[in-house]
Amino acid sequence: MPQIAPLEIEPIDACRYRIPPQGRMNVPGIVFADERLMAGIREDQALRQVANVACLPGIVHASLAMPDIHWGYGFPIGGVAAFDLDRGVISPGGVGYDINCGVRLLRSRVSAAEAEGRLRDLVEALFRNIPTGVGSHRKDLRLGAKDEERLLAQGAAWAIGHGLGEAADLLHIEEGGRLEGAVPAYVSERAKERGRTQLGTLGSGNHFVEVQRVAAIYDEAAARALGLEADALTVSIHTGSRGLGYQVCDDFLQVMLKASRAHGIDLPDPQLCCAPIGSEEGRRYLGAMYAAANFAFGNRQVITHWVRQSFQEVFSKGPRDLGLEVVYDVCHNIAKIETHRVGGRERRLCVHRKGATRAFPPGHPQTPAAYREVGQPVLIPGDMGRYSYVLVGTARAYEESFGSTCHGAGRRLSRTAARKAARGRPIARELEARGIFVRADGYATLAEEVPEAYKDVAEVVDVVARAGISRKVARLVPVGVIKG
């Protein structure tokens, strides 16, 4: 980062801070955080990144940050920014390397009491059926070139068409599990090569499949609409576009560095390299990024199929009795063209959400019909030792944050610091003593993902709820986890 004057930051209220326009900023920065969370946020360069994003051409209203914000590549993780289609830009740094990393939540008819004594077997079945770790793949699912092209264009529907899911699943996925405008031809051969063996795999890092118990319900009406019942088991699937998406980002960072110079864009940070949305470079990135996003939708769909298979193996029940149905599937890393009201009028904007979740309000036409009265479901994973949350979107989020909210707990410790803190600890046994069975590809993953590596997601959720940009529906506690 360039050495420049310290940022001026001022509180707005108990849940918001403002970075007034200073230096080259075109708009202010708005950070959703309380005093406690803000103390931690100030410790890294994430706030400087919020200010840098505010310098980009065509940005509208403000550079936004959610309470789970932390330092990332270009944009902060937890950053939201919307750009005018005529004057604005699109930036791979505003989406991230793991394109359409997201979360899918499944509900079930299996109660926690019924699962008692079988959870270890269930975790073992999930770990056996769902490949985890760096470079993981299943030998019985390798895409040919033509099938991969169709997957990149069709998303989750491709998997369902191959018997890996149910048509009803598509009703409860953001964008129906397929982003229109995907152009597989814009995805490099290297990216496609990396993706061919990785469909239906979890990957590494903070990705997981987690079996949970519905521990608390805060909004009975919304919970009923989402099909969530107290003490029932749920399953969260957190993963993205794997090596294919990573390669798409890597490829286009090189393209955008050249494009920034060619279009005369003065960058506050080279990691914010970008191109005008309507330029050739911008259109090519959108087409490739949407294709990678469709790969991620397909990836979570295939994993859903194998979750269902694992439950059938362990509980010896058919699909109808298990009731493993999709509650919702949300993107965390994406840029999409959306309509929002700014300054009293409707505008088409390119909204970047990097480590942030769409949170559309009740009545919005893009909220699934089953949830139209309560708002779009918002899925907020915590850490493998505490809890996660289900929220719904609000009208205030649509007015104030481009229909966006937080996406998780947010890291508190770097991976290196987490490994140091966990050195020599029997992490799996620690979690089992708390009633959580865990399997991972290796000890290093568990060490990097110890619960204390993350902020307390309850504090993050409390801020967005008090700020009015989400509403709490339920709390889920982990009982079994597989990690990459």
Predicted confidence (pLDDT) per residue in 250-293, tens digit: 999 999 999 999 999 999 999 999 999 999 999 999 999 999 99
The structural domain count of the chain equals: 1
Q: What is the pLDDT of residue 412?
A: 87
**CA-to-CA separations, 259 to 152, 253, 277, 311, 392, in angstroms, rounded:** 25, 10, 11, 49, 38
Task: Output the CA torsion 64→65→67→68 (10° steps).
Answer: 150
Q: Per the domain annotation, does 388 fall within a domain?
A: yes
Is 136's pLDDT higher than 70?
Answer: no
Q: To the nearest 5 percent, what fractions of the chain are helix, strand and coil?
A: 40, 25, 35
Model confidence at 432, pLDDT cuts 50, 70, 90, reads very high
Rounded Cα distance between 211 and 2, Å, is: 44
Identify whether 327 is part of a domain: yes
Residue 380: inside a domain: yes
What's the CA dihedral at 359, 364, 366, 367 to 10 degrees? 60
**Residue 112 falls inside a structural domain:** yes
pLDDT digits (tens, 9 = 90+) for 288-343: 999 999 999 999 999 999 999 999 999 999 999 999 999 999 999 999 999 999 98
DSSP state of 350: E
407 an active-site residue?
A: yes
Lowest mean pLDDT among 46-55, 63-72, 132-141, 241-250: 132-141
Q: What does the pLDDT read at residue 334?
A: 98
* 229 is a domain residue: yes
Q: What is the DSSP letter of 102?
A: E
Q: Is residue 86 part of a domain?
A: no
For 435-483, list the strands marked E by DSSP. Answer: 437-440, 471-483
Handedness of CA 382, 451, 210, 135 (dihedral sign): positive
Lowest mean pLDDT among 12-16, 204-208, 459-463: 204-208
Residue 281, domain member (yes or no): yes
Q: Give residue 205's domain range.
A: 102-251+274-337+357-483
What is the pLDDT at residue 135? 67
Q: What pLDDT digit, counting tens, does each position of 80-99 carry?
A: 999 999 999 999 999 999 99
140: pLDDT strictly greater than 90: no
Alpha-carbon distance of 243 to 205, in angstroms, equals: 13
The residue that leads in pLDDT, 344 or 15, is: 15
Q: Is 27 a member of any domain?
A: no
Mean pLDDT of the chain: 95
| pTM of the predicted structure, to 2 decimals | 0.96
Residue 400: enclosing H or E segment and its boundaries?
A: helix 395-400
Q: In the 8-state DSSP scheme, what is residue 478?
A: E
Instruction: Assign 414 a pLDDT band (cuts: 50, 70, 90).
Output: confident
Q: What is the pLDDT, as a whole number, of residue 137?
A: 65
Amino acid identity, residue 289?
M
**pLDDT tens string 362-382:** 999 999 999 999 999 999 999
| Residue 48 token pair | 């400087």
For 302-349, the DSSP string reads HHHHHHHHHHHHHH---HHHHT-EEEEEEESEEEEEEEEEETTEEEEE
Region for residue 74 given its phi and psi (left: phi exceeds 0; alpha: psi -120 to 50; beta: otherwise): left
pLDDT of 1: 41
Share of the chain above pLDDT 70, in %: 98
Residue 477 has pLDDT above 70, yes or no: yes
Q: Which CATH number fits the domain that encloses residue 156?
A: 3.90.1860.10
pLDDT at position 413 is 87
With the C-alpha atoms ordered 114, 104, 246, 478, is the resulting torsion angle positive or negative?
negative
Cα dihedral 38, 43, 48, 49 sign? negative
Quick check: 390 and 443 in contact, CB under 8 A? no
Tell whether the model's pLDDT for residue 3 goes beyond 70.
no
- Rounded to whole angstroms, the Cα distance separating 99 from 300 reads 13
Average pLDDT (166-170) is: 96
Give the integer Cα–Cα distance in Å for 9 and 265: 26
Q: Which has the closest alpha carbon to 196: 132, 148, 150, 248?
A: 148
pLDDT of residue 375: 97
Residue the block writes with tokens 């903070």? 206
Q: How is residue 56 annotated by DSSP?
A: S
Length of the chain: 484
Confidence of residue 2 (pLDDT cuts 50, 70, 90): very low
**Of 483, 408, 476, 440, nearest in space to 235 by CA:** 476
- DSSP-derived secondary structure letter, 67: E
Nearest C-alpha neighbor of 389 from the set 405, 373, 411, 366? 405
Residue 242's pLDDT band (boundaries 50, 70, 90)? Answer: very high
Catalytic residue chosen out of the listed positions 70, 238, 305, 407:
407
Write out the two tokens for 9: 């930051």
